[in-house]
Amino acid sequence: TKCSSDGDFSEGEMVPFGPIALNPSSGVLNYGQGLFEGLKAYRKTDGSILLFRPEENALRMRIGAERMCMPAPTIEQFVDAVKQTVLANKRWVPPTGKGSLYIRPLLMGSGAVLGLAPAPEYTFIIFVSPVGNYFKEGLAPINLIVEDKFHRATPGGTGNVKTIGNYASVLMAQKIAKEKGYSDVLYLDAVHKKYLEEVSSCNIFVVKGNVISTPAVKGTILPGITRKSIIDVALSKGFQVEERLVSVDELLEADEVFCTGTAVVVSPVGSITYQGKRVEYAGTKGVGVVSQQLYTSLTSLQMGQAEDCLGWTVQLN
Ligand code: PMP
């Protein structure tokens, strides 16, 4: 869908996947005026298709659009466009347990600008791709390295919105970590260089006894929808959840650490390396009982195998 800077995204069309024409002087190519979202459609055993909290992605895109000086689709327009795109591609939604259909909405300044300014025209696109389960054979722990030289976000920056530039800035840190054999990078805050923020594309939780702690959403981390959902699931299971400053030193004392995100769902952390020191979290076969319990609870909701008391899923057909 295309619209002018006053923002009307009511007209859209379904076109085959392929390259799009973009003005060389568009706002997105020159000044990074772009946002994206990520969500998944799962197939239930009866063949029908479920979305998980799509209105949360719509809302996050609207909040991000304000920060990036862009108009955005309404929540209704966003969710409707996601539904239509998934239904038009329903043959690509894998069978239950074999993965999901990843949905990627994009909002960008497609109009021409030369001097630094918001673009005069915007384009909203959704494309989809089937993806396998992140972990092929059950949960497998990931190994993280704490980064204290590169930062993902700074106070007053754009770390709390899903703008494309946030991801460009972490490519190098991620590349270095992968070359050293780590799965991903865990970032610290840029001011004190001591509090946990998040991983390149997921949020982080630290478990100690019955208490599950996670960095509070205070402007520099992305407010993950999986994060928000896992907090509610954990509370309903009787855990105490604390959203606060979590010091890197707490990693030494933790029973378990796990990450949450649309791609990784709930991913146990097997080890964390910080300043050359490696802390290991063993658990059963490297997967902590709390991580396993929360993973099972969330995925059974997302795949329609547990009763959706909270109305988190949207059935499409
Ligand atoms: N943090 C970052 C930086 C991310 O890119 C993502 C993925 N969107 C997340 C956290 C997790 O968010 P969600 O649970 O909404 O996928």
Q: What are the angstrom distances between the C-alpha of 157 and each of 26, 27, 195?
A: 22, 18, 17
Rounded to whole angstroms, the Cα distance separating 75 from 67 reads 17
Taking 90 as the threshold, does the pLDDT of residue 7 lie above it?
no
Nearest CA to ligand 1 atom 2: 201
Rounded to whole angstroms, the Cα distance separating 69 from 294 reads 37
DSSP string, 48-84: -EEEESHHHHHHHHHHHHHHTT-----HHHHHHHHHH
Asked whether 271 lines ligand 1 (CB < 6 A), one says no
Number of other residues whose CB lies within 10 A of the CB of residue 41: 28
pLDDT of residue 3: 77
Q: Which of 40, 98, 136, 162 is catalytic?
A: 162
**Residue 284 confidence class, pLDDT cut points 50, 70, 90:** low
Listed residue (118, 121, 48) closest to 308, CA to CA: 48
Q: Which atom belonging to ligand 1 lies closest to the Cα atom of 200?
A: 3
pLDDT of residue 136: 65
By most ligand atoms within 8 Å of CB, the mutation choice from 202, 204, 260 for ligand 1 is 202
Domains, the chain, with CATH or none? 2-131 (3.30.470.10), 142-302 (3.20.10.10)
Beta-strand ranges (E) seen in the chain are: 2-4, 34-36, 39-43, 49-52, 100-109, 121-131, 142-147, 184-188, 196-199, 203-208, 211-215, 240-244, 256-261, 265-274, 277-280, 313-315
Taking 80 as the threshold, does the pLDDT of residue 41 lie above it?
yes
Taking 70 as the threshold, does the pLDDT of residue 173 lie above it?
yes
Rounded to whole angstroms, the Cα distance separating 104 from 263 reads 12
Q: Over the stretch 184-226, which tens digit does the pLDDT of each residue have? A: 999 999 999 999 999 999 999 999 999 999 999 999 999 999 9
Asked whether 38 lines ligand 1 (CB < 6 A), one says yes
Dihedral sign, Cα of residue 17, residue 60, residue 256, residue 290: negative
Give 224 Cα–ligand 1 centroid separation in angstroms.
5
Q: What are the angstrom distances between the C-alpha of 105 and each of 31, 36, 40, 123?
A: 19, 6, 11, 11
Grouping H, G, I as helix, E, B as strand and the rest as coil, residue 196 is strand
Mean of pLDDT values over 65-94: 97
| Contact in structure between 240 and 267 (CB atoms under 8 Å) | no
Taking 70 as the threshold, does the pLDDT of residue 81 lie above it?
yes
Mean of pLDDT values over 42-69: 97
Taking 90 as the threshold, does the pLDDT of residue 134 lie above it?
no
Residue whose tokens read 């949905």: 103
By most ligand atoms within 8 Å of CB, the mutation choice from 198, 204, 222, 229 for ligand 1 is 222
Asked whether 34 lines ligand 1 (CB < 6 A), one says no
Asked whether 101 lines ligand 1 (CB < 6 A), one says no
pLDDT of residue 163: 98
Asked whether 222 lines ligand 1 (CB < 6 A), one says yes
Mean of pLDDT values over 72-93: 97
Distance of CA 258 to the CA centre of its chain: 14
Asked whether 120 lines ligand 1 (CB < 6 A), one says no
Rounded to whole angstroms, the Cα distance separating 236 from 228 reads 13
Backbone angles phi, psi at 7, to 5 degrees: 80, 85
Taking 80 as the threshold, does the pLDDT of residue 6 lie above it?
no
Average pLDDT over the chain, rounded to an integer: 94
Residue 136 is among the residues annotated as catalytic for this protein: no
**Helix axes 75-88 and 54-67, enclosed angle (nearest 10):** 130
Rounded to whole angstroms, the Cα distance separating 307 from 317 reads 18
Q: Over the stretch 147-166, which tens digit does the pLDDT of each residue have? A: 889 999 999 999 999 999 99
Give 114 Cα–ligand 1 centroid separation in angstroms.
32
Mean of pLDDT values over 72-88: 97
Residues 6+ apart with CB under 8 A from 225: 39, 52, 53, 56, 57, 60, 262
- Could you give the percent of the chain with pLDDT greater than 70? 98
Q: Over the stretch 221-271, which tens digit does the pLDDT of each residue have? A: 999 999 999 999 999 999 999 999 999 999 999 999 999 999 999 999 999
Mean of pLDDT values over 109-123: 96
Asked whether 259 lines ligand 1 (CB < 6 A), one says no
Rounded to whole angstroms, the Cα distance separating 41 from 159 reads 26
Q: Which atom belonging to ligand 1 lies closest to the Cα atom of 262?
A: 16
